[in-house]
A and B are shown apart, each in its own frame.
Chain A
Amino acid sequence: MSHEKPRVDDATGTNLVGHEWDGIEELDTPLPRWWVYVFAATVVFSAGYVVAYPSLPDVAGSTGWSSRGQLDETLKAEAVARAPLINAVAATDITQLAANPAVMRSAIEGGRAAFKVNCVQCHGAGAAGSKGYPNLNDDDWLWGGDIASIHTTLRNGIRSPGVDETRYSQMPAFADMLTRAQIGQIVSHVRVLSGQDKASRASVAGAALFAENCASCHGADGKGNREMGAPNLTDAIWLYGGDRAALTQTIAKARFGVMPHWAGRLDDVTIKMLAAYVHSLGGGEATPAAAPAPAAETADNVGT
């Protein structure tokens, strides 16, 4: 097979490769030499890269770098960077958090993160709760809605077994003490208390039964008692439902909602931050005695 002599492009004097596409031909222009050197340099670089970094299965690079190690370092650096904020939260009394907006902000954000890990299972991702699990966004609190009360609830839990300081109360199951009809009358009265029904003969009868059996905890007016976690029966919020069936079941069988205690399971700062977060959800109440006004208004958070 004979080699044809390469044809030469008239305009440039460069040899043609021999390809032709619809009359367009390719020039056989040589690469610049430095380009070839750069290519060689990349090959050398890749060899060094294979040695220095983990490129082969199960072989660590000579630098010891790994993405896991990098993550560890990042986390360590984050922990160090976060330490001042954590320390500030730790050093501030729970009732004084609101007086330090910057500390409060970091506490709320820390609480937001901890909530997602520890609390959403019952209270939901948005803390809106569900039947039997309180909505933490509203302004109704069984055991108190100021930040210190929330903190206490978080630390000790509610009816948490094995904890002496836990918040404890138990409503009796009235099915053994009252007749079905009597329970029905009390339900009628409670629905009148909460403004859901108009007064009826049954509710008047229920009022007497209520005063006898329920008022000791829920109060004569049904407004509840936070000392013993007795819910306010006059408001619009029902933990287990305010319809007749739910109320009947509550009175007949009682409820026994449990929240675990977190003291000892989470560190003190995290619990404090969780309290700050829950308090910030819109229903938080001011600390009762001599609530200190916010000391400094900040640019981020100023209202009148």
Chain B
Amino acid sequence: MSALDLINPKSGLYSRREPVFPRVVNGRFRRLKWTVMILCLAVYYITPWLRWDRGQFAPDQAVLVDLAGRRFFMFDIEIWPQEFYYVAGLLIMAGIGLFLVTSAVGRAWCGYACPQTVWTDLFQHVERWIDGDRNAQVKLNNAPWTAAKLGRRLVKWSLWLAIAVATGGAWIFYFADAPTLAQAFATGTAAPVAYATVGVLTATTFIFGGFMREQVCIYMCPWPRIQTAMLDEKSLIVTYRDWRGEPRTQGLKKAASASGKVGDCIDCNACVSVCPTGVDIRKGPQLGCINCALCIDACDEVMAKLNRPRGLIDYLNLDDEKHERAGGQARPILKTLLRPRTLVYFAIWASIGLAMLFFLGERARLAIDAAQDRNPVIVTLSDGQVRNGWTLKMRNMQSRPRQIELAMVGLPEGRMWTDAMDRRNAARSVRLSLAPDATTKLHLYVAAPGGVAGETPFVLNARPLDAEPGSKDARVATRTVKFIRQ
């Protein structure tokens, strides 16, 4: 062994991309892909334009991530930064959901719903529309750069660019009022970050969807590695039934004359020519396979023509593949989908979701935060009483003004007043009006006779005055604080 062996002069340090020209294919999985693509794109483009009436004090956009205002609106749900654990909960659900989907249907995300897949697919359809199907594309690719070729390329790139701009453009509408931002964007008065975001997303969509394509999946994306690690022998993956297909023959007669055994695969390469990542599924499960199942459609077409049963290439888990290879009956696909592992994942996933829904429904929409003055903690007043102070933050998380009564429970000799009041009006409770969907900050003072050492805990109760008694809105927000005398 020498160090020189580490560098293999034959393979080289790098290799060029082998262009992929997937042929158009029709079939059930192609139709499923169409459906998912239209659904994903529709949700992505339409969502920011949906309106949702929340009254005059909150925006009327159904889904809005208001970063500047630090509010997250999703239909009837409004999340404050303090409640970000709901988003964390969603991320945990996404994680468990990933386990669930991967253990049940393998890399379904990669094959159907990943934006890279969806936009690459869309770009490839544009490509076929302009350049024609696989053979025409290969021919054009190899042709010299004539005016006609340049023209076609420019048309294709322009269409891609238009899609890319629309893609990047739609993103920003999730973060501001869509109609207002659209107008500002068009008139050049939107924030620079809006243009920068659109620019970056346009560039990435154009480059990743138009030119990088499967390179993103194979070299850049961590997902295939993660998902591959989570697959087991029961996960549904796209599998070539090689015990049925091999040996491959390109003509039945020729095969029959050579030896007795004839496989179903006629080596027509239909599965390879439709593959958007350019892999040969017949080599077995591999990183480049995004499980889009287009090769299943392609092979089924061929098998139908040959009057052979469909499913030479099929969604099949490795266990069942072994079972069938040994001569067993094909098992129903439901047995793969519904097995203890997927059911446990689903139960966990659903419990988290239900728990979150429950807590969302039950969460407080009125809260008190009290930060005690620390410098000085104790102020002796001229009449000998001792004063403590708190910075109160009253969070009114409803989109309407609230009237509340803030009252002391405990410390019977204490009296309170706010920085908007005079101590002469100090009492056991004060009335406050809270601004809609905002934090009302005020300073609270409490004075009580001194002389006793130590801390006396008492409770601050914020009781809504503007809600039906007994209703959810009438719930009292409380906070326990300490009165410190010495």
Identify the A interface with B (CB < 8 A): 1, 3-4, 6, 11, 14-15, 17-18, 28, 30-36, 124-126, 128, 135, 137-140, 195, 232, 235-237, 280, 282-283, 286, 294, 297, 299-304
Q: B219 — which chain A residues lie within 8 A by C-beta?
A: 32, 35
Q: B430 — which chain A residues lie within 8 A by C-beta?
A: 303-304
State how many angstroms separate the Cβ of B206 from the closest Cβ of chain A: 15
Q: 21 pairs across A/B with beta carbons < 8 Å?
A: A3-B2, A18-B6, A30-B14, A30-B15, A31-B15, A124-B375, A125-B375, A126-B373, A126-B376, A128-B379, A138-B379, A140-B382, A235-B382, A237-B382, A299-B435, A299-B438, A300-B440, A300-B442, A303-B421, A303-B432, A304-B432
Alpha-carbon separation in the docked complex, A238 to B294 (Å): 89
CB pair B1 A18 closer than 8 Å: yes
CB pair B8 A6 closer than 8 Å: yes
Query: Is B387 in the interface zone, CB < 8 Å from A?
Result: yes
State how many angstroms separate the Cβ of B318 from the closest Cβ of chain A: 15
Q: B445 — which chain A residues lie within 8 A by C-beta?
A: 282
Alpha-carbon separation in the docked complex, A125 to B373 (Å): 12
Bin the interface of chain B by size: 35 or more
Which 4 residue pairs of A and B lie closest in terms of their CB atoms, listed nearest first? A126-B375, A299-B435, A235-B382, A128-B376
Query: Is B76 in the interface zone, CB < 8 Å from A?
Result: no
Which of B375, B417, B433 lies in contact with A299, CB distance below 8 A? B433
Identify the closest chain A residue to B422 (Cβ): A286
CB pair A36 B420 closer than 8 Å: no
CB pair A33 B16 closer than 8 Å: yes
Identify the closest chain B residue to A298 (Cβ): B435
Query: Is B10 in the interface zone, CB < 8 Å from A?
Result: yes
Alpha-carbon separation in the docked complex, A11 to B286 (Å): 10
Which of A1, A4, A139, A302 lies in contact with B381, CB distance below 8 A? A139
Query: Is B12 in the interface zone, CB < 8 Å from A?
Result: yes
State how many angstroms separate the Cβ of B424 from the closest Cβ of chain A: 10
Alpha-carbon separation in the docked complex, A297 to B442 (Å): 13
Q: A282 — which chain B residues lie within 8 A by C-beta?
A: 379, 387, 389, 419, 443, 445
Given contact pairs A31-B13, A31-B15, A35-B219, A303 touches B442 in the complex (Cβ within 8 A)? yes
Contact with A along B423-438 (1 / 0, CB 8 A): 1000000111111001
Query: Is B142 in the interface zone, CB < 8 Å from A?
Result: no
Contact with A along B1-38 (1 / 0, CB 8 A): 11011101011111111000000000000000000000
CB pair B376 A33 closer than 8 Å: no
Alpha-carbon separation in the docked complex, A135 to B386 (Å): 14
CB pair A33 B17 closer than 8 Å: yes
For chain B, residues 366 to 396, give those with C-beta under 8 angstroms from any C-beta of chain A: 373-376, 379-384, 387, 389
Q: A302 — which chain B residues lie within 8 A by C-beta?
A: 420, 432-433, 440, 442
Identify the closest chain B residue to A297 (Cβ): B433
CB pair A301 B420 closer than 8 Å: yes
Q: A35 — which chain B residues lie within 8 A by C-beta?
A: 14, 219
Given contact pairs A303-B418, A303-B432, A28 touches B5 in the complex (Cβ within 8 A)? no
Query: Is B70 in the interface zone, CB < 8 Å from A?
Result: no
Q: A135 — which chain B residues lie within 8 A by C-beta?
A: 376, 379-380
Q: A300 — which chain B residues lie within 8 A by C-beta?
A: 435, 440-442
Residue among B5, B380, B443 with the highest chain A CB neighbour number at 10 A? B380
Inter-chain pairs besides A6-B8, A11-B283, 8 sampled, C-beta below 8 Å: A3-B2, A30-B14, A33-B17, A138-B387, A236-B381, A236-B383, A301-B420, A303-B432
Identify the closest chain A residue to B444 (Cβ): A303
Given contact pairs A3-B2, A304-B430, A137 touches B379 in the complex (Cβ within 8 A)? yes
CB pair A15 B11 closer than 8 Å: yes
Identify the closest chain B residue to A234 (Cβ): B382
Given contact pairs A3-B2, A6-B5, A137-B376, A280 touches B12 in the complex (Cβ within 8 A)? no
CB pair B14 A32 closer than 8 Å: yes
Q: A139 — which chain B residues lie within 8 A by C-beta?
A: 381-382, 423
Query: Is B215 in the interface zone, CB < 8 Å from A?
Result: yes
Q: A17 — which chain B residues lie within 8 A by C-beta?
A: 6, 8
Alpha-carbon separation in the docked complex, A64 to B445 (Å): 53
Q: B387 — which chain A residues lie within 8 A by C-beta?
A: 137-138, 282
Residue among B8, B13, B430, B442 with the highest chain A CB neighbour number at 10 A? B8
State how many angstroms separate the Cβ of B210 from the closest Cβ of chain A: 13
Identify the closest chain A residue to B218 (Cβ): A32
CB pair A31 B442 closer than 8 Å: no
Alpha-carbon separation in the docked complex, A202 to B93 (Å): 81
Q: A15 — which chain B residues lie within 8 A by C-beta?
A: 8, 10-11
CB pair A138 B380 closer than 8 Å: yes
State how many angstroms separate the Cβ of B449 from the closest Cβ of chain A: 11
